[in-house]
Amino acid sequence: MGFHQHTYFVALVLPEPVLSRVEAFKQLIAKKFGSKACLKAPAHITLIPPFWFTDDQRVIAALRSFTWNEPIKLHLNGYGTFGKKVLYIKPEPNEKLNLLQQSIKTHFECVLELKNKKNKKLPFVPHITIGNRDWNEAQFNAARDYFNQYIPFEAICFFTSMSLLKFEGQKWQVLEDIAFSSGK
């Protein structure tokens, strides 16, 4: 009997109104600079990179059994790059975010016996990707320069939940949101 594996990841999806602003950037990059890969998921900060599992309910249960007690306040400020392929919005360093990421990663590894060898050695570098992979160096350079020169970006976000996303054919869909408890 074969089990079909699905692809999931856990993220902080940007709250409104910042989400709409960043989604507009992604649309602009797709139209003007040719990178459409980012349109497959809502703007987010990845906490657990894509992993494969066979059972939605077990993954949802793992998310629901995780507890985090306070909102995360992030200051987003400017842009960064990974090589000549990824353009992203930079959050300023935040210890609570780092602790949340380490905590949820450890929780998933324990509860689901999840070991994602591919991402094991990668450090956590919080970012909100707005252009990714599917463009050439000239397109990437033009987009990077355009955003740095003409579209300064700064925002404060309060994250009060995190999301489990599942790849459904062509796009990532939010499968479940879990609110951070406020201790009330």
pTM confidence score:
0.92
Q: Are 92 and 75 in contact (CB under 8 A)?
A: yes
Edge to edge, the sheet with strand 6-13 lists 44-53, 6-13, 161-168, 171-179
Q: What is the pLDDT of residue 116?
A: 59
Q: What is the pLDDT of residue 1?
A: 42
Buried b (16+ CB within 10 A) or exposed e, 121-133: eeebebbbbbbbe
pLDDT in tens, 62-95: 999 999 999 999 999 999 999 999 999 999 999 9
65: left (phi over 0), alpha (psi -120 to 50) or beta: alpha
Q: What is the pLDDT of residue 120?
A: 58
DSSP notation for 127-159 = -EEEEESSS-HHHHHHHHHHHHHH---EEEEEE
pLDDT in tens, 92-151: 999 999 999 999 999 999 999 876 555 556 789 999 999 998 999 999 999 999 999 999
Mean pLDDT of 44-69: 94
> Would you state the structure tokens that stand for residue 156, as one six-digit string?
């404060």
pLDDT at residue 184 above 50? no
pLDDT in tens, 144-182: 999 999 999 999 999 999 999 999 989 999 999 999 985
CA distance 28 to 34: 9
Domains contained in the chain, CATH given: 6-179 (3.90.1140.10)
Q: What is the pLDDT of residue 18?
A: 97
Q: Are 88 and 128 in contact (CB under 8 A)?
A: yes
CA distance 34 to 54: 34
Per DSSP, helices labelled H in the chain are: 18-33, 56-64, 95-111, 137-150
pLDDT at residue 39 above 80? yes
Q: Which amino acid is at 78?
A: G
Crossing angle of helices 18-33 and 137-150, rounded to 10°:
140
Q: What is the pLDDT of residue 75?
A: 98
